[in-house]
């Protein structure tokens, strides 16, 4: 009796675990697992998604993908967002965080609160507001330019192929910097105080000391923020969709907008699925690194 | 410390750094302030001086915005979808986190890593398959079409956070409770759930911001205005009145005010919730 009880107690854990895990795995299976499997499946078909006619085309979608110039173009734009994140947004946020934590600044908390706000602001609101700022006739940017006599520089920022992407990059700086500012501020505050004493003795200049001493000490925070910036730049969509839909022509097309148009405007659901798999592959590779960092850190939480 | 600081604070450096921070402060504030002020101006005024100061306080813009589009309907839809999604995310994540941190069973590690992988799956992957599935199961244009994927993509982070927290709770807790004859289910509901409150709050806040602003699923799965949430409803609205900036602004304010209030009340917790993933690394 006692042995069966002990054994059954061991089994009970498994049974109880099933009950506790069931809802989570139900959702994960239906809404993530199933989509992954069926995306792979659809990628072998030529299919509108609506009509019952679904033609098996083997690897045709993949062959198309490999020679599709727009995929290359879109991937290039994703890469531009990515690089801009790494060389502009993150360093900018780091600079602000350093000045805000170490500089003689009043109203530190207020500044931090305001800097962070765009992070929780709706993408549609952000995109619409900036769309109005870039408006060719009445926009703020052109109004300012005209008021300082630079009339010839006033232009339709989002409507021209050569200015649309830089215009969006500026918005991405505006909406994302606050997130990294808060992360870096917490990281900087967490450094032992004698770091700053050491800097004083060395007499290192502020910026130089920031780069040579503080950056290495914060490498895990900077590393995970960089991973986040990279992953988010691959999965970008909302801001670009609201502001330009990937246009004009393809000037701001990214994988997310191209996939969306292929699947839901052109109704090439098979090909759309193939494009998604590129996004999936890229983000999976990159997230493994991030998950490792997250997990390592969370044990200490 | 003094000298490092004085380098920043001394003279020109001090002035420049303050100016720099001030410029960025104005840049982050300005769009929101402009939106608020424009929503109170007349259209004629905005047409002639779009970036001028408000000379009127015209609350009619709000009445007109609410009359011309079912913004309140979108608002209610957003509340329903967000609240249900957040509650489910918190409860389901906490249950799974309890299993992963406190129970022993086969496949524990692989299953945990499988859920973590969910963190790296782009939401785009769900669009085509769920669009098709929704049509087949007749759940297109329902709340479920949004709540389902919201929950699925929300729980990996929830499980990770809450599990991490539960691992820090002392073992003695459950031992004492078990001696008292507390069942495993009661143990979860009466002890672990209440004790994990700080982690649950972080997950709830994070999930709320995500679902309130959720754009991609709503864009793809909802076409019936009766079920549209604020982001998409608002996009339709501003697309319809592109020349009437005060009306657009009023609509955007209606959609933004709840988040502003939420942010002002919970800002510290919110910043913590949004950034905690990166900081633990």
Does B14 sit within 8 Å of A36, measured CB to CB?
no
What dotted CATH number matches B69-240? Answer: 1.10.3720.10
What local confidence, expressed as pLDDT, does residue B1 receive? 42
Sign of the four-CA dihedral B261, B266, B268, B271? negative
Query: How many C-beta neighbours within 10 Å does residue B137 have?
Result: 12
Mutual angle of helices B144-167 and B108-117, in 10-degree steps: 130
pLDDT tens by residue, A14-31? 888 999 999 999 999 999
Query: What is the reported pTM?
Result: 0.89
Q: Which CATH class is domain A67-298?
A: mainly alpha
Domain range summary for chain B, segments of one domain joined by +: 2-63, 69-240
- With CA atoms as reference, the chain A residue closest to B205 would be A120
What local confidence, expressed as pLDDT, does residue A6 receive? 44
Q: Where in chain A is the domain with CATH 1.10.3720.10?
A: 67-298
Structure tokens at B68: 């011309």
Q: What is the ipTM of this complex?
A: 0.89
B-contacting residues of A 88-117, CB under 8 Å? 95-96, 99-100, 102-105, 111-117
User: Shortest CA distance to B137 belongs to which of A25, A34, A56?
Assistant: A34
Q: Which of B125, B231, B263 sits opposite A123 (nearest CB)?
A: B231
Structure tokens at B42: 């007349």
B-contacting residues of A 137-196, CB under 8 Å? 138-140, 143, 174, 177-179, 182-183, 186-187, 193, 196
- With CA atoms as reference, the chain B residue closest to A224 would be B278
Report the share of chain B in percent with pLDDT over 70. 94
- With CA atoms as reference, the chain B residue closest to A243 would be B235
Q: pLDDT digit of tens for each residue in chain A (301 aa)? A: 344 444 444 445 788 899 999 999 999 999 999 999 999 999 999 998 778 788 899 899 999 999 999 999 999 999 999 999 999 999 999 999 988 988 777 888 899 999 999 999 999 999 999 999 999 888 899 988 988 888 888 888 999 999 999 999 999 999 999 999 999 998 888 888 887 777 765 555 666 777 778 888 888 888 888 888 888 888 889 999 999 999 899 999 999 999 999 999 999 999 999 999 999 998 888 777 666 665 565 433 3
Instruction: Say if CB B233 and CB B142 are below 8 A apart.
Output: no
Mutant choice from A10, A49, A289, A301 vs B, greatest count of B C-beta within 10 A: A301
Instruction: Say if CB A258 and CB A77 are below 8 A apart.
Output: no
């Amino acid at each position: 009796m006692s042995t069966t009880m002990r054994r059954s107690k061991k089994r009970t854990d498994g049974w109880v675990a099933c009950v506790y895990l069931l809802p989570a795995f139900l959702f994960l299976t239906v809404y993530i697992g199933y989509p992954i499997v069926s995306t792979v499946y659809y990628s072998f078909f030529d299919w509108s998604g609506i009509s019952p006619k679904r033609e098996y085309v083997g690897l045709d979608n993949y062959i198309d993908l490999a020679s599709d110039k727009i995929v290359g173009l879109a991937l290039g734009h994703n890469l531009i967002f990515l690089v801009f994140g790494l060389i502009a947004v993150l360093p900018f946020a780091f600079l602000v965080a350093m000045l805000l934590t170490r500089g003689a600044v009043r109203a530190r908390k207020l500044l931090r609160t305001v800097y962070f706000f765009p992070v929780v602001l709706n993408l549609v609101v952000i995109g619409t507001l900036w769309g109005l700022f870039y408006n060719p006739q009445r926009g703020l940017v052109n109004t300012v330019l005209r008021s300082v006599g630079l009339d010839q520089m006033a232009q339709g920022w989002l409507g021209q192929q050569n200015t649309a992407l830089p215009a969006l990059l500026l918005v991405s700086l505006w909406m994302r910097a606050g997130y990294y500012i808060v992360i870096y501020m917490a990281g900087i505050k967490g450094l032992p105080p004698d770091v700053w004493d050491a800097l004083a003795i060395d007499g290192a200049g502020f910026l130089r000391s920031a780069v040579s001493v503080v950056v290495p000490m914060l490498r895990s925070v900077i590393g995970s923020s960089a991973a986040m910036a990279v992953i988010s730049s691959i999965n970008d969509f909302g801001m670009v969709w609201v502001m330009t839909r990937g246009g004009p022509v393809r000037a701001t097309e990214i994988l997310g907008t191209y996939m969306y148009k292929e699947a839901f405007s052109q109704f090439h659901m098979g090909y759309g699925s193939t494009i998604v798999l590129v996004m999936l592959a890229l983000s999976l590779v990159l997230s493994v690194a991030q998950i490792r960092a997250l997990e390592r850190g969370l044990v200490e939480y | 410390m003094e000298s490092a600081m004085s380098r920043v604070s001394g003279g020109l450096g001090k002035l420049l750094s303050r100016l720099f921070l001030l410029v960025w402060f104005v840049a982050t504030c300005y769009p929101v302030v402009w939106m608020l002020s424009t929503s109170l101006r007349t259209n004629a005024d905005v047409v002639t001086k779009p970036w001028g100061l408000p000379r009127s306080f015209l609350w009619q813009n709000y009445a007109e915005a609410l009359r011309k589009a079912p913004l309140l309907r979108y608002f209610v839809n957003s509340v329903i979808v967000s609240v249900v999604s957040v509650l489910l995310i918190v409860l389901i994540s906490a249950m799974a986190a309890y299993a992963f941190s406190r129970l022993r069973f086969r496949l524990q590690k692989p299953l945990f890593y499988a859920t973590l992988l969910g963190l790296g799956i782009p939401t785009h992957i769900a669009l085509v398959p769920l669009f098709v599935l929704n049509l087949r199961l007749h759940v297109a244009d329902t709340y479920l079409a949004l709540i389902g994927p919201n929950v699925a993509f929300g729980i990996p982070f929830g499980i990770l956070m809450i599990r991490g927290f539960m691992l820090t709770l002392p073992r003695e807790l459950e031992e004492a409770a078990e001696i008292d004859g507390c069942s495993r289910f009661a143990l979860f509901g009466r002890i672990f759930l209440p004790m994990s409150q700080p982690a649950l709050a972080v997950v709830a806040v994070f999930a709320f911001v995500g679902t309130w602003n959720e754009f991609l699923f709503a864009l793809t799965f909802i076409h019936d205005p009766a079920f549209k949430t604020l982001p998409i409803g608002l996009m339709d609205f501003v697309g319809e009145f592109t020349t009437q900036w005060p009306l657009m602004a009023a609509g955007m304010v209606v959609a933004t005010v709840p988040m502003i209030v939420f942010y002002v009340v919970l800002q510290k917790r919110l910043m913590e919730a949004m950034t905690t993933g990166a900081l633990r690394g």
